[in-house]
Amino acid sequence: MNLSVREVLDLSERCFRAAGFDPSTARAHAAAVWWAEAYRGTGLAALEDLLGPLDDADATTPTIDERESPISVLDGRGLPCPVSAVPALDLACAHADRYGNGITRVTECVVGSGEELLGALACRAAERGYVSLVLSVGGDAGYRTVLGAPAGARPAVAEATPSAPSEGYAAIDRAVRADRHRARQAPLFRVAFDGETGPDPYDATDARLLHRFLQRSVAPAPDADAGPGFVVACIDPRHPRYSGEVGRVAEDAVRDTELFDRIHSPEAVGDRVDRLVREGVAVDRKRWRELFEFGNGVLAPPFEGSEKGAGFDLNELEG
């Protein structure tokens, strides 16, 4: 059976509402499901996998251990990672808006539940004009790095799957555990990424630091003692503290097939979204039933438009 885009969003939102999320947060998570469906074709499958953990979860806001330091720290309280996703992004964006960059480290969350949806954070940050990285480590979910970069009407997104926690993730984890993340005497990325550098294609210091951060965020660190969780990093390329080269670093990286395994160009994603809007999203009837029942029967089958496709574009999900 096929669901229209709007039906995917409505069904997803009802599931998160049934799990106890407030309406605005439930809508944000529903948009993440749609993102995973549009970019990876895995959104509804990821939502189904979340049903058990969400049924037992406390959807209230996670504990903020550090709010004002350059690297904010959230305690995920052993809950599925989507519970912490929205506040993690908002904190990173708020710091980026004020200081030019911001990092949120989420600890003690279950990344194996809902990890497929975390990449939406990089896309949403890029829609707001930030260069963003989402680094995740956890259990069967393995290791993933997602880069989002502003690129006109639709962000450019690239993904990498390192064979171990990335060097970037490990460096941020060490900075937090060593209590170095509160330092304000140095630019944010120097806190985690100071050190000797090799040849670099960029002239400005801030561009070289970001380039190093991107490289280390996809390079595996097999010996790293990094705890599970995820990191959201946002950089505002328009901030007065940065040179014009910072934006170019992200534009180059998001097309770099040596750095990233999967490149989601705006054009390719646009074509897929157009097809999903026209034809609908294919879903197994058993999966749909599981999602429908979890949503407490708020949506009444049969859905109108389930066979013809209807809805709105990916870029209309903000707000």
Average pLDDT over residues 216-242: 91
Strands (E), the chain: 2-3, 63-66, 71-75, 101-107, 131-138, 142-149, 156-160, 229-235, 262-264, 281-282
Q: Is the pLDDT of residue 147 over 60?
A: yes
Token pair of 109, please?
């969350």
User: pTM of this prediction?
Assistant: 0.86
Which residues are bridge partners to 233 per DSSP?
103, 133
Strands (E), 97-190: 101-107, 131-138, 142-149, 156-160
pLDDT band for position 201 (cuts 50, 70, 90)? confident
Least confident of 23-27, 216-220, 310-314: 310-314
Q: Which of 122, 120, 129 is nearest to 153 (CA)?
A: 129
Average pLDDT over residues 255-262: 92
Residues 6+ apart with CB under 8 A from 26: 13, 16, 17
Q: Is the pLDDT of residue 187 over 80?
A: no
Average pLDDT over residues 32-47: 94
**Virtual CA dihedral for 203, 206, 210, 213, nearest 10 degrees?**
110
| C-alpha distances in Å from residue 237, one per residue of 140, 165, 247, 248, 259 | 34, 27, 5, 9, 21
Average pLDDT over residues 233-253: 93
- Residue 268 to residue 265: CA distance in whole angstroms: 5
Cβ pair 148, 131 in contact under 8 A:
yes
pLDDT band for position 69 (cuts 50, 70, 90)? low
Which sign does the torsion angle of CA 37, 40, 45, 51 carry?
A: negative
pLDDT band for position 185 (cuts 50, 70, 90)? very low
Give ranges for CATH 1.10.1530 in the chain: 2-57+268-316
Q: What percent of the chain has pLDDT over 70?
A: 81
Token pair of 250, please?
């992200």
- Residue 151 to residue 174: CA distance in whole angstroms: 32
Q: Is the pLDDT of residue 191 over 80?
A: no
CATH, domain 2-57+268-316, list 1.10.8, 3.10.20, 1.10.1530, 1.10.10: 1.10.1530
pLDDT band for position 181 (cuts 50, 70, 90)? low
pLDDT band for position 263 (cuts 50, 70, 90)? very high
**What is residue 140's predicted lDDT score, i.e. its pLDDT?**
60
Give ranges for CATH 3.30.1370 in the chain: 65-265
pLDDT tens-digit readout, 74-129: 988 888 888 899 999 999 999 999 989 999 999 888 887 788 899 999 999 999 99
Average pLDDT over residues 19-31: 92
Q: Is the pLDDT of residue 297 over 70?
A: no
Least confident of 15-19, 48-52, 81-85, 198-202: 198-202
- Residue 27 to residue 245: CA distance in whole angstroms: 35
Average pLDDT over residues 309-317: 37
**What is residue 162's predicted lDDT score, i.e. its pLDDT?**
93
Cβ pair 102, 220 in contact under 8 A:
no
Average pLDDT over residues 149-162: 91
pLDDT band for position 56 (cuts 50, 70, 90)? confident
Cβ pair 221, 125 in contact under 8 A:
no
**236-253 burial, b for 16+ CB within 10 Å, e for fewer?**
bbebeebeebbbbbbeeb
CATH, domain 65-265, list 3.30.200, 3.40.50, 2.60.290, 3.30.1370: 3.30.1370
The region that residue 288 occupies, defined by phi over 0 for left and psi between -120 and 50 for alpha, beta otherwise, is alpha
Least confident of 63-67, 256-260, 289-293: 63-67
Chain centre to alpha carbon of residue 299: 28
Residues 6+ apart with CB under 8 A from 19: 54, 55, 57, 59
**What is residue 306's predicted lDDT score, i.e. its pLDDT?**
39
Cα–Cα–Cα angle for 123, 160, 89, rounded to 5 degrees: 30
- Residue 236 to residue 221: CA distance in whole angstroms: 27
Q: Is the pLDDT of residue 182 over 90?
A: no
The region that residue 221 occupies, defined by phi over 0 for left and psi between -120 and 50 for alpha, beta otherwise, is beta
Q: Is the pLDDT of residue 70 over 80?
A: no
**Total residues belonging to the chain:** 319
